[in-house]
């Protein structure tokens, strides 16, 4: 672990509206980081490509599924990604290819954030993207949660090497 970094390594989770996938990833990774004693070295946030739900909490089903596994998403509030995020964050993680395409097309000149697909760190994942459970039911949220929790554990291992 490198100890010469003075500011926290900042990670931004991105999905469509910031009420299902990205807040689930945000809440899980925050807890994993805190439990690992890395809260002063890694900061986590979430944002949506769209601003439809700005200020809203995560969806009820996302909150319920996360709570079953000991994660509290209730303090989180949706926000839309902004140009400054590309400079203020070290790593921006996209939940699907559509998000990645939009993140790349909006990448400002001189920005420093690394862009990656959320599931790329998880060698056990049998897919490339995290499906959007928004229009589905509890089973869809459960499946997305499982992918996201596994992905967050993989990212924690990767992030330990960066901080």
Residues labelled as active-site residues = 15, 21, 132
Q: Alpha-carbon distance 74 to 130, whole Å? A: 21
Decide: 81 and 48 in contact? Cβ < 8 Å.
yes
CB atoms < 10 A from the CB of 75, how many?
Answer: 10
| Residue written as token pair 């996209």 | 94
Helices (H), 42-137: 60-68, 85-88, 97-105
């Amino acid at each position: 672990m490198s100890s010469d970094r003075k500011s926290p390594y900042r990670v931004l989770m991105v999905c469509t509206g910031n009420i299902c996938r990205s807040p689930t990833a945000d809440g899980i990774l925050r807890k994993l980081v805190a439990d690992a004693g890395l809260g002063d070295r890694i900061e986590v946030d979430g944002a949506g490509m769209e601003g439809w739900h700005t200020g809203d909490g995560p969806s009820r089903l996302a909150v319920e599924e996360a709570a079953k596994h000991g994660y509290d998403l209730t303090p989180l509030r949706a926000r839309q990604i902004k140009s400054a995020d590309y400079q203020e964050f070290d790593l921006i993680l996209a939940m699907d290819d559509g998000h990645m395409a939009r993140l790349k097309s909006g990448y400002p000149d001189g920005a420093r954030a690394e862009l990656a697909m959320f599931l790329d760190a998880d060698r056990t994942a049998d897919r490339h993207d995290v499906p959007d459970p928004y229009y589905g039911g509890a089973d869809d949220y459960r499946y997305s949660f499982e992918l996201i929790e596994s992905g967050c554990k993989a990212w924690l291992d990767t992030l330990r090497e960066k901080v």
